[in-house]
Structure 1
Amino acid sequence: MQLTHMTDIHLNDKFSLEDKYTLLEGRIVLSGIQALVRLLLDQNRADLIKGLNTGTLVSGYRGSPVGVLDINLVRNKKLLDQHNINFIPGVNEDLGATLIYGSQMAGMVSNVKYDGVLGMWYGKAPGVDRSGDIFRHANFLGVGKNGGVLAVAGDDPSCKSSTLPSQSEPALFDAMMPIFYPGNIQEVLDLGRYAYEMSRYSGLWSGFKIVTDIADAFSSVIVHPERININIPDFQYNGQPWKHTQNAKLVGHHSLPTEKEIHLGRIEAAKHFLASNEINKITFSSDKDSIGIITAGKTYYDVLEAFESLGWDKEFLNNKGIRVLKLGATFPVDSNIVKRFSENLDEIFIIEEKRSFIEMLIKEEIYNYNNKPIIVGKNDENNKPLIPGYGELTADDLSKILFKRYSSRLGVDSDNKKINIITEVDKRIYGQSLSSRSMYFCSGCPHNTSTVKLPEGDSAFGGIGCHLMAMFVDDGKAFGTTHMGGEGAQWAGMEPFVEKEHMFQNIGDGTFFHSGSLALRQAVAAKSHITYKILYNRAVAMTGAQDPDGGLDLPELTKYLKSQGVEKVIITTDDTSAYDTIEKSRWDKDIEIMHRDDIVDAQKKLKATKGVTVLVHDQSCAANLRRLRKRGLAHEPKKRIFINEAVCEGCGDCGVKSNCLSVQPIKTEYGRKTQIDQPSCNKDYSCVEGNCPSFIQVIPSEKNDKRILPEINFDPSIIPNPKKIQKDVANIFMLGIGGTGVVTVNQIISTAAFIENKKVIALDQTGLSQKGGSVVSHLKIVDNNKEYSSRVANGESDAYLVFDLLTGANPKNMAKLSTKNSTSIISTSEIPTGDMVRSTAEEYPEASFMIDLIKEYSKDSELLNATELSEHFFGSNMQANFIVIGAAYQAGSIPLSNESIEKAIKINGVAVKQNTEAFNIGRKIVSDPHWIDTIDLYRSGSLTSEPNLSSEAIKLIDSISPDEELRNILEFRTQELIDYQNLAFAKEYIGFVNTIYIKEKDLRSSSELSQNVARYLFKLMATKDEYEVARLSLKAELDSAISQEFGKSAKVSYMLHPPFLKAMQNIPILNLLPGVKSKLALGSWFKIFYVILKNMKFLRGTAFDFMAWFSNDVRKADQKALNHYKTTITENIDKIGNGEYQSLKDFSTLPDIIRGYEEVRLETMEEYYQKSDNIFNS
């Protein structure tokens, strides 16, 4: 490969993000996907230099790792138009390939507007598979005059965002496409140019393999109009200079001459092109080599990193006789370089991920050589496994493999620093297993309703799309996937052989328009009894919320469905009034429209209808709707939802009903509660369905009377500059949650390094994790000219930046830590997972345990609650990551200047002031640790305040002389019980606690049991009946919290579902009344009724307690639970002094299980009694 290298490149102070596409000469920074866009522009520019005015067509279908290529193309349409580059999205992959196929026969049909037409197809590996037929046809046709095509195949070897792990080479090879494999972003640009020119010369499409680690990478590269020098080989075919032909008569015997030309002409032309342009290159060699290594693409740079980490530099490799061949193209085999490479070698080790593709071709090439070397790869010379053909292949894996195979043979000391690190990491014992942060629905996602809610006992098939996450939300309700477009056809295959008579099938509108409509037609043809649940959300949410290509609007879709033989169609939606403006003539006449609250009833109707039926759930993608609202392109609802923490029981029913990550459990003095995380809330409002009176509807004040955000009370310029790490390669590892800006932070630091003229190599490992799961980002800031892989190796992190504690404490991630060089910056914020939202049994692990774990394997560490700090200073958690970055910088872990980081924040152009201030807050905390102690941090939605004790309450508490821990508990509860009922009620409480306390102090010199009883006896005594809900809804702390969050003049409505109205749900006509099926929003006028109710607490428990008439079963159950608790404690009090003390302590916390209102509460009581029996009967 001949490159024109450049030196002494100086950065323009006017650096712009647009440079990635417009700067013709110099250094730029861009991602792997952006490099594909730049490649199109560079090819056009190169053609212009040659005097060719070419046009380009790009088509294909989105899918990880090339899922956002189309977004980047649309975003740069104006620039692409200037270079005659057209983008037409494919409805699916094979139709997109057919468009490119058509572009290459343009000159055969009509006069062409340009001197030639280029093409780029893109798709993930499953798209390569489904496009095999058109690929073969297109390769037989050949490319047009001055044309050329790249087939960009996105491979996901680690299966992080796919249903199956993938490798595209075998499919591309089967289509007889030459295969280029770039190993970094620079090679995407360089090899991409060669791939186009080879396609133009040979007549074949060029396969272009892009793996996740390249597509998701971000790096600095060199660009220049004359960087690539193309050498056209002197190849003759049939005695004439090579020129491929085009044949559009692809049928019968007409195809045979073309087949011959492909094998003897085009493939040979490709081989000559590879050789002439040195695409495959021997990068390490000496006269005494005996060992050869052949590798390609990303794996080549993993091999280099393994050499580097083992201490095997170029001199070592030459002295020890190791030769390396780097393949820029894996097919066809360049026979000349393989022969030259293999001369005098005893062994060739072929290192590649997945299947043995290169190994197969090299073995075939070398088979007839005299004195041929041993070839090993997937297996060694004894047919024992050597390189796994499954899973991921990393630099750490290769370090172990290379050292094990060659250390003895090369006479290398067995005491190797890198191997010792790997061994130490492998032997670490991380203690208890921790909760994992799995992918989850976005806040307000329509799938929370459309996929999870099913009739009792029913289940649904999954498929391709965000809805597949339903498989991990409700075990057993959703299961199984198909390939994209096969959804539902599998039921037709199993239906004759199972007793089950009906099945539901989830499918998104993007998948339906892609190819899923064919599966529906198959179900109709098979006379299946199945209900398709189509989520019509107007966005392909998994890859960036693009519009579904080839889609139909809703009325057209309903007519289409009926025309295909669908028996019945029901539409469910969150806003039935939206259809009032649509002409009735546009709908199929039998369409039924129902509110999403009735989605289960809708499914029952469809299930009862024989044949193929369809539920279309019409609700916009929440994440996309949020983006549109920010841009002013969609209506922004004024209504917000607030949870009264005092009324909330922490039962999780709102989480079950909504599956919403904004419905977050929090820890309070009174146990687990729930709050709405306002910054992330997408205003879906389904959480209000939770069976609980704690919900308050708020219309925020239009006046500027909310909490005034505090000013930054320090001068950033006087913060001292830190002593920074001094290394050729600074390894920074970032850990956070998908969708919270981790990728943005990585790109900002990368840009800052680029501004300082340093080389950057970054990688964001996101995939499906973008949906609320764990994400990690790697960043290497390089101060030398060596090449590195994009990942931070195990035990090599210099900075370990924990944006999310759960992700940071994941053992797989902690493998990056080293006690010799890792500085950990830990945000101690406790951010719940989706499982924690849905289940009260899922608790956040002990934060101190996770923090200690990270610190144990770190050299240094800094702790800060970044989320709480961000909410205090900025009213949102969105600046939390920048606070961590500031702390990391001040700790010396980021070898850049604060000026370059602040400039990069400014270039990014989003929330510049806030992000810069957040960065400086992080710096301040590290430089002046006591500064934070002077700040009383605000917590959004919190109603907990220090207890305001009356003299009676103080006297009651003092009467039992409690120790400090018990006193604190009693102070928070005694006054509450006086206010709940009366002084006598509080005396009863204190008296019972004192009985336990005296006994425990005497026998155990402890108050653990007493503390538990103080907490949970209060919980059982102060049950939240209507009188107590009224009292708690009138607390001044509630008004204060709402005023600070939404403004003093915010309008408040209480969301209530009175039991007497709820009781009418099954009564015809009456069940149509407001408040029967769903909650009523009762405005501030309702406060007077709360005041009346609060003052009628004296009726509680009497024959005149009229509020108990509709909830008597709950009242009785509460009293029974209280009596059971007190009786059990009393009867077992003597066990304090014997071996059953622990059992008594375990029982004393059981009332924590009892939560919620009405049916929810009664269900938890059953669990309470069951666990009680288990404790004392085991």
Structure 2
Amino acid sequence: MAIARDFSLDAKYRREEGLIFLSGIQALVRLPLDQHRADKRRGLDTATLISGYRGSPLGGLDLTLERNGELLREHNVVFLSGLNEDLGATAIYGSQLANLFPRPKYDGVLGMWYGKGPGVDRTGDIFKHANFAGVGKQGGVLALGGDDPLSKSSTLPTHSEVAFYDALFPVLFPGNIQEILDLGRLGFELSRYSGLWVGFKIVTNVADEVGTAEVAPHRVVVTDPGFLFEGRPWQAQQQPMLMPPFGLETERLIHYGRLEAARAFAAANGINRIAVPTPEAWLGIVAAGKTYYDLREALGELGLDDAALRRYGIRILKLGMLFPMEPGIVREFARGLEELLVIEEKRAFTELFIRDVLYNQSERPRVVGKHDEEGRILVPANGELDADRIAQLVASRLERKLHLDSITARVALLEALRERPAPRTLVRQPYFCSGCPHNRSTVVPEGSIAAAGIGCHGMALYMDRNTYGLTHMGGEGAQWVGMAPFTETPHIFQNLGDGTFFHSGSLAIRQAVAAGTNVTYKILYNSAVAMTGGQDAAGAMPVPELTRALEAEGVKRIVVMTDELDQYPKGTRWARGVEVWHRDRLDEAQRVLREVPGVTVLIYDQRCAAEKRRLRKRGKLPDPAMRVYINEAVCEGCGDCGVKSNCLSVHPVETEFGRKTQIHQSSCNKDYSCLRGDCPSFLTVIPRGTAKKKERRLFTVDRALPEPALKVSRQCSIFMTGIGGTGVVTVNQILGTAALLDGQHVRGLDQTGLSQKGGPVVSHLKISERPEEVSSKVAAGEADGYLGFDILVATSPQSLDHARPDKTIAVVSTSQVPT
């Protein structure tokens, strides 16, 4: 059914019934609004606090929340960006204590914490304390753990369910946008009922998903499980006294009360379900969250729809709650099976709980997962599982009993793709933006060594800059404290982003001061958390105040470098002895500081180039009139300007006189570092007068357009490739919205990774007439449409795997962008 033409982009948040189109991040923004609406229908006046710390795959959550401030206020939602994950969680803990203070404003306060995998790890202590204390009356907490299983934008691959389990959180795992909304609502209700914080595992491919979802006021109906504890109806109780001996009694209450209440709630509300209840099955397959939809995609590609699964004796269990395991449904599912196969990413987790449930059963199936019955590796514990990988391992179990042409053909295709020789092709390597401060700030003097840190400046590790090592966020330099006594190297430079400094890195400087270590911290002050969307750093202070704070910590000497000396007015209150130099004196400043015993600091103050460009476009920052050009007739093509500036806007160009160099004007951010070469071919041009503003042309349809002829079936898949800035994500959003307006259902995925730094972008889109239990990714050889926005990414083997000569229609741009 087509959507009415009064459609608006905020329908994703405001529409209360029907079909909506949104991303995984936008679904997380809508979730507390839906909970508030449900509470209001019950006559409850509740509010919500959201806090945490940004980081992929939840990097855009805080920006999306900030852009919808009016909407949040309408639903009593307060958003406070945490200084770091630990303090954000402590604020959420506080929200659950508000009901215990005099004169509470609301009937209850809900909490939603967010953080990426490493943030989950660092927040374990407050998680445990807050979970022991319980949730407030008519409250409840969801803790969103952002997992990046392929480590696309994280230093390490993560899976947060283990940390949530350690804190004794029930763990829910939504597999798509619809489940973020539905399972998220049940998660708040589960927390409220059990008195426990609830972990909500969000993997990259769910956070980055785009698609349609059904919404309705009574879509989620909550059932009271009627759980009895010690002979009385269960009622969750808070225990804010976290001193001995009260903790021991609370520990007993958690294990035998709250967690059992969570199991009962899951059973009563169908959080886990037998998706294909084949009566006389020999094989049972268990999967959860995103992996469940990858499994269904894999089975479909093997030619096994629901009817075929029943015909061939295969049963499927879909888990929504990973912990605590619901024993009743596991026993029901396992009854009569010969083999139970558990498919999950990373190390065994649900597999262990399933084994534990079935261990004492007199009749139980063989349970396989990470290893088969002979101890051989079956389901990999490394990397990410997708439909193609799952298809191969499921086929290996099925082919012992089934011999189907569809299985043989699919496995043959996947094996051929896996075993083909890898062609020698160029790849898109993420890099500093044009005019990025780090192009210059991460250079060290001859004879010196630098240590990398968390942030986009860490890409210096890919370059020939004598930069080594990496530690976790906030530990920058503390590793050198431990190395220094055992090496003849007298000193290092430690790169430290301003966002990391205000997050937790200031403590590392304090540690280095306390240890008397010889180190120069280079605080790269670019006024934005550039890796996750350009947000302001939480808790940031201006540079002059920062110098005074560093002086108070015991830093021996501080030099401030800047590209705009006049930005600091006369009379600025600096710390004693601070010198402010132009960035051109960077090498000199570093040579001076490395000779000073103890801890010194160089603050490199230059705004992020990408944010500077955005602010100029919005008229919030002056746009310099001067432009740089290269006279190709004079240029000798030596490339020195590219070496000096390290800038992506310095392009090679082929001419009739050989290879020369030019400035790519549309990407140039006017940093002017390329002028350092003092080359006679460079021209600086300042236009006279003011540029005329172009009139915005509006596209109008002045005649009836015929319906296009369909080249594919109504159920189709589109695969798109490009690099950051080529519009791949925008096109995916436009096509998805158009499908919504046509009454179609959509599942898609935007794999952006390090797109903000020129890295590759890949988008998937599936359109169907009804909701389908499929993966958000286009499987190997299944693309009907193939759109290449960048020829290098489009021709990479990983991208071409999705196309098939007899099926795919491709449209590829042949324009060349240097890498």
Name the counterpart of 2:501.
512
The code of the aligned residue for 1:810 comes to S
Q: Give the C-alpha shift of residue 430 in structure 1.
A: 5.7
Deviation per CA, 1:617-665: give whole Å up to 9, x if none: 0000111111111111111111111121222222222222222211122
* 1:462 pairs with one of 442, 449, 452: 452
For residues 545 and 268 of structure 2, the distance between their equivalents in structure 1, rounded to whole angstroms, comes to 56
Deviation per CA, 1:1081-1105: give whole Å up to 9, x if none: xxxxxxxxxxxxxxxxxxxxxxxxx
Q: Is 2:538 the counterpart of 1:546?
A: no
Q: Give the C-alpha shift of residue 10 in structure 1.
A: 4.7
Mapped contact 1:454–1:600 kept (Cα < 8 A):
yes
Deviation per CA, 1:997-1026: give whole Å up to 9, x if none: xxxxxxxxxxxxxxxxxxxxxxxxxxxxxx
The code of the aligned residue for 1:216 comes to D
For residues 646 and 779 of structure 2, the distance between their equivalents in structure 1, rounded to whole angstroms, comes to 36
Q: Is 2:547 the counterpart of 1:558?
A: yes
Q: Is 2:127 the counterpart of 1:135?
A: yes
Deviation per CA, 1:282-330: give whole Å up to 9, x if none: 0102221111111100000000000111110111100111110000111
Name the counterpart of 2:370.
378
**Matches of residues 474-513 of structure 1 in structure 2 within 5 Å?**
474=464, 477-513=466-502
Q: Is 2:62 the counterpart of 1:76?
A: no
Deviation per CA, 1:200-230: give whole Å up to 9, x if none: 0000001000000010111011111111000
For residues 703 and 631 of structure 2, the distance between their equivalents in structure 1, rounded to whole angstroms, comes to 42
Name the counterpart of 2:638.
651
* 2:750 pairs with one of 743, 752, 764: 764
Q: Give the C-alpha shift of residue 741 in structure 1.
A: 2.2
Mapped contact 2:753–2:759 kept (Cα < 8 A):
no
Aligned residue pairs: how many? 818
For residues 152 and 422 of structure 2, the distance between their equivalents in structure 1, rounded to whole angstroms, comes to 24
Name the counterpart of 2:781.
795
For residues 527 and 397 of structure 1, the distance between their equivalents in structure 2, rounded to whole angstroms, comes to 52
For residues 262 and 704 of structure 1, the distance between their equivalents in structure 2, rounded to whole angstroms, comes to 68
* 1:28 pairs with one of 6, 9, 20: 20
Mapped contact 1:664–1:677 kept (Cα < 8 A):
yes
**Matches of residues 381-460 of structure 1 in structure 2 within 5 Å?**
381-413=373-405, 416-429=408-421, 431=423, 433-451=424-442, 453-460=443-450
After superposing the two structures, state which structure 1 stretch, 95-104 or 239-248, moved more: 239-248
After superposing the two structures, state which structure 1 stretch, 537-546 or 106-115, moved more: 106-115
Q: Is 2:147 the counterpart of 1:158?
A: no
For residues 777 and 616 of structure 2, the distance between their equivalents in structure 1, rounded to whole angstroms, comes to 36
* 1:90 pairs with one of 82, 91, 102: 82
Higher RCO (Cα < 8 Å, 6 or more apart): 2
Name the counterpart of 1:126.
118
For residues 409 and 627 of structure 2, the distance between their equivalents in structure 1, rounded to whole angstroms, comes to 57
Q: Give the C-alpha shift of residue 411 in structure 1.
A: 3.3
Deviation per CA, 1:352-376: give whole Å up to 9, x if none: 0111011111111111111111100
Name the counterpart of 1:535.
524
Name the counterpart of 1:829.
815
Mapped contact 1:68–1:544 kept (Cα < 8 A):
yes
Inter-CA distance 118–414: structure 2 relative to 1 (3 Å threshold)? closer
Deviation per CA, 1:858-885: give whole Å up to 9, x if none: xxxxxxxxxxxxxxxxxxxxxxxxxxxx
The code of the aligned residue for 2:471 comes to T
Name the counterpart of 1:749.
735
Deviation per CA, 1:954-1010: give whole Å up to 9, x if none: xxxxxxxxxxxxxxxxxxxxxxxxxxxxxxxxxxxxxxxxxxxxxxxxxxxxxxxxx
Mapped contact 1:653–1:691 kept (Cα < 8 A):
no
Q: Is 2:587 the counterpart of 1:600?
A: yes
Q: Give the C-alpha shift of residue 811 in structure 1.
A: 1.2
Q: Give the C-alpha shift of residue 789 in structure 1.
A: 0.6
Q: Give the secondary structure class of the aligned counterpart of 1:369.
A: coil
Name the counterpart of 2:578.
591
The code of the aligned residue for 2:782 comes to E
Q: Give the secondary structure class of the aligned counterpart of 1:207.
A: strand
Q: Give the secondary structure class of the aligned counterpart of 2:241.
A: coil
Q: Is 2:271 the counterpart of 1:279?
A: yes
Name the counterpart of 2:564.
575
The code of the aligned residue for 2:253 comes to E
Mapped contact 1:455–1:604 kept (Cα < 8 A):
yes
Q: Give the secondary structure class of the aligned counterpart of 1:761.
A: strand
Q: Give the C-alpha shift of residue 415 in structure 1.
A: 6.5
Name the counterpart of 2:186.
194
For residues 376 and 736 of structure 2, the distance between their equivalents in structure 1, rounded to whole angstroms, comes to 43
Q: Is 2:225 the counterpart of 1:233?
A: yes
Mapped contact 1:407–1:414 kept (Cα < 8 A):
no
Mapped contact 1:407–1:413 kept (Cα < 8 A):
no
Name the counterpart of 1:1014.
none
For residues 52 and 512 of structure 1, the distance between their equivalents in structure 2, rounded to whole angstroms, comes to 42
* Structure 2 residues without counterparts, runs of 5 or longer: none
After superposing the two structures, state which structure 1 stretch, 435-444 or 378-387, moved more: 435-444
When you count strand as a share of all residues, which structure comes out higher? 2
For residues 19 and 718 of structure 1, the distance between their equivalents in structure 2, rounded to whole angstroms, comes to 27
The code of the aligned residue for 1:777 comes to S
Between the two proteins, what is the percent identity of the paired residues? Answer: 54
Inter-CA distance 120–719: structure 2 relative to 1 (3 Å threshold)? closer
Name the counterpart of 1:44.
36
The code of the aligned residue for 2:733 comes to Q
Mapped contact 2:303–2:407 kept (Cα < 8 A):
no
Q: Give the secondary structure class of the aligned counterpart of 1:624.
A: helix
For residues 212 and 108 of structure 2, the distance between their equivalents in structure 1, rounded to whole angstroms, comes to 31
Name the counterpart of 1:109.
101
For residues 668 and 311 of structure 1, the distance between their equivalents in structure 2, rounded to whole angstroms, comes to 55
Deviation per CA, 1:406-438: give whole Å up to 9, x if none: 12312334763322322332344464x122111
Inter-CA distance 704–391: structure 2 relative to 1 (3 Å threshold)? closer
When you count helix as a share of all residues, which structure comes out higher? 1
Using structure 1 for the length normalisation, give the TM-score: 0.68
For residues 174 and 297 of structure 2, the distance between their equivalents in structure 1, rounded to whole angstroms, comes to 16
Name the counterpart of 1:210.
202
For residues 213 and 112 of structure 1, the distance between their equivalents in structure 2, rounded to whole angstroms, comes to 39
Mapped contact 1:217–1:790 kept (Cα < 8 A):
yes
User: Superposition RMSD on alpha carbons, in Å?
Assistant: 1.9
Deviation per CA, 1:58-97: give whole Å up to 9, x if none: 0000000001100011000111011110001100000000
Q: Is 2:792 the counterpart of 1:806?
A: yes
Q: Is 2:240 the counterpart of 1:253?
A: no
The code of the aligned residue for 2:747 comes to I
Mapped contact 2:726–2:789 kept (Cα < 8 A):
no
For residues 692 and 295 of structure 2, the distance between their equivalents in structure 1, rounded to whole angstroms, comes to 60
Inter-CA distance 427–389: structure 2 relative to 1 (3 Å threshold)? closer
Inter-CA distance 176–651: structure 2 relative to 1 (3 Å threshold)? same
Q: Give the secondary structure class of the aligned counterpart of 1:678.
A: coil
Q: Give the C-alpha shift of residue 681 in structure 1.
A: 1.3
* 1:291 pairs with one of 263, 283, 286: 283
The code of the aligned residue for 1:602 comes to A
For residues 103 and 426 of structure 1, the distance between their equivalents in structure 2, rounded to whole angstroms, comes to 51
Radius of gyration: which is bigger? Answer: 1
Mapped contact 1:285–1:321 kept (Cα < 8 A):
no
Q: Give the C-alpha shift of residue 277 in structure 1.
A: 0.2
For residues 670 and 94 of structure 2, the distance between their equivalents in structure 1, rounded to whole angstroms, comes to 46
Q: Give the secondary structure class of the aligned counterpart of 2:81.
A: coil
For residues 761 and 702 of structure 1, the distance between their equivalents in structure 2, rounded to whole angstroms, comes to 50
Q: Give the C-alpha shift of residue 247 in structure 1.
A: 1.4
Inter-CA distance 30–406: structure 2 relative to 1 (3 Å threshold)? same
For residues 217 and 36 of structure 2, the distance between their equivalents in structure 1, rounded to whole angstroms, comes to 11
* 1:473 pairs with one of 463, 467, 487: 463
Q: Give the C-alpha shift of residue 817 in structure 1.
A: 1.7
Name the counterpart of 2:656.
669
Q: Give the secondary structure class of the aligned counterpart of 2:754.
A: helix
For residues 73 and 157 of structure 2, the distance between their equivalents in structure 1, rounded to whole angstroms, comes to 36
* Structure 1 residues without counterparts, runs of 5 or longer: 1-8, 834-1178
Q: Give the C-alpha shift of residue 829 in structure 1.
A: 1.1
Q: Give the secondary structure class of the aligned counterpart of 1:500.
A: coil
